[in-house]
Amino acid sequence: MSKQIIQTTKVPAPIGPYSQAVIANGFLFASGQVAFDPATGDLVLDSIQAETKQVMENIKAILEEAKINFSHIVKTTIFLSDMQLFAQVNDVYGSYFTADFPARETVAVKTLPRNVNVEISVTAVINL
């Protein structure tokens, strides 16, 4: 099995020893994304909606680098700092999908990197 590392400058570089995404065996595995603005390197924390939108835009940039889109996503994991944020995150997240929604779990955790409120990772199939 070979693997291909996906790296784009349209998303801030990883803050640790990991890749933005890896393609292996026909699947793309994207690392959890938080709301870093690639233009400034700053976190977008103005509101949970703005934060979630930046996370989804970062995921979009990774998908585009792999020459796929949101319709290729088969599984997502959403980590929240507080389950009270679920409805607002869900509204923004849902706007990126049109049909055949991916499988998903959403969990609340004690703390996320850089004290953000939402982190999302995805698994996508390369060929539909």
Look up the pTM and report it.
Answer: 0.96
pLDDT tier, 128 (very low <50, low <70, confident <90, very high otherwise): confident
Q: Enumerate domains of the chain plus CATH numbers.
A: 3-125 (3.30.1330.40)
pLDDT at 15: 80
- Return the amino acid letter for 79: F
CA 84 to each of CA 48, 91, 95, 111: distance values in angstroms, whole numbers, following the listed order = 11, 13, 19, 15
In the chain, % of residues over pLDDT 70: 100
Instruction: Convert the pLDDT of each residue in 51-101 to its tens digit.
Output: 999 999 999 999 999 999 999 999 999 999 999 999 999 999 999 999 899
- Given CA atoms 123, 80, 16, 69 in this order, what sign does their dihedral have? positive
